């Protein structure tokens, strides 16, 4: 009986000793944030309109992958550059919208442009295309 118990104990020890823990490392590119400050005189009247203004934000970090496969979020400060709050655009209540291109973003203001320096935050969201 002792021999059987000893044999079972040895088999259990060998079985447990042969287990291997695999560590899975998720290697994703982190999201990136770009902050822009734009003065009131950087807003330009859009050609052919009477109340649509725009400002271009040069961002070489935005490449074709960002435009076609990943996400880009744009926020505008609610209080200039003190940044106690942001709202996400497009935002129909504040009348802002934007277009994304390789190398830059164009922000539109429908109505009067901002009268103080405005802080704009752009967040580039890394994502894997699974289609």
- In tens, the pLDDT along 44-95 reads 999 998 899 999 999 999 999 888 888 899 999 877 777 678 889 987 767 8
Phi/psi for 11 (5° steps) reads: -65, -40
Question: Which segments of the chain are extended strands (E)?
Answer: 32-38, 44-45, 52-58, 71-77, 86-89, 96-101, 104-110, 118-125
Count of structural domains, the chain: 1
Cβ atoms 43, 54 nearer than 8 A: yes
Residues 67, 116, 119, CA angle at the centre, nearest 5°? 35
Position 9 in a domain: no
Closest-CA residue to 75 (of 88, 84, 85, 90): 88
Question: Whole-prediction pTM value?
Answer: 0.72
Question: What pLDDT was estimated at residue 28?
Answer: 62
Position 130 in a domain: no
Position 10 in a domain: no
């Amino acid at each position: 009986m002792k021999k059987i118990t000893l044999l079972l104990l040895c088999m259990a020890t060998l079985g447990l000793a042969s287990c291997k823990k695999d560590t899975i490392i998720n290697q994703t590119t982190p999201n990136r944030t770009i902050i822009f400050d734009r003065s009131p005189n950087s807003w330009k009247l859009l050609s052919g309109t009477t109340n649509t203004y725009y400002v271009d934000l040069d961002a070489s970090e935005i490449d074709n992958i960002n435009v076609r496969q990943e996400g880009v979020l744009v926020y505008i400060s609610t209080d200039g550059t003190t940044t106690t709050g942001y709202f996400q655009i497009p935002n129909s209540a504040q009348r802002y919208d934007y277009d994304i291109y390789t190398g830059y973003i164009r922000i539109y203001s429908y109505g009067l442009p901002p009268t103080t320096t405005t802080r704009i935050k752009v967040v580039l969201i890394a994502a894997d295309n699974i289609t």
